[in-house]
Structure 1
């Protein structure tokens, strides 16, 4: 239960940033290095969840990965 709530909150935490980046196309204050590491780490957590058969871990990280990837792509596109 705690893990599900944690996954839900950490996943949704990316939504406001995605909305702001897509609306403003302003990524100046976003660290490229941080998002590269974050997207990589989220991908690895996603792979780990899949490997151990933890669907809650896997699904939360699939969604988080997609949201963080949108921000990373915007950072690279709107430099």
Structure 2
């Protein structure tokens, strides 16, 4: 198997891992069980992976982690929008 295809498949699977959580949050407008610290660390780590992918010019790393950053930023925005004050 071509290593770029393997990277895209692996990255795609891990990138969509948080989509069910985002969909649930958007549907129920409930962020009570979300850990803000976990989301912040995840966005930071994923952003560093994007940077690493840019430095190494590795498109699978860039694309999969950039998508994951986007999903988790949406979760972060949802957290602040739907949290109980």
How high is the TM-score relative to the length of structure 2? Answer: 0.85
Unmatched 5+ stretches in structure 2: none
Displacement after TM superposition at 1:55 (Å): 0.5
Distance 1:3 1:62 in 2: 14
Unmatched 5+ stretches in structure 1: none
Partner of residue 59 from structure 1, selected from 47, 60, 63: 63
Q: Deviations over 1:58-77 (max 9, x none)?
A: 00011111001100111122
Partner secondary structure for residue 63 of structure 1: helix
| Structure 2 residue 38 is matched with structure 1 residue 34 | yes
Distance 1:11 1:22 in 2: 18
The structure 1 segments of at least 4 consecutive aligned residues displaced by more than 3 Å after TM superposition are none
The aligned counterpart of 1:77 is 81
Flag the structure with larger Rg.
Answer: 2
How high is the TM-score relative to the length of structure 1? Answer: 0.91
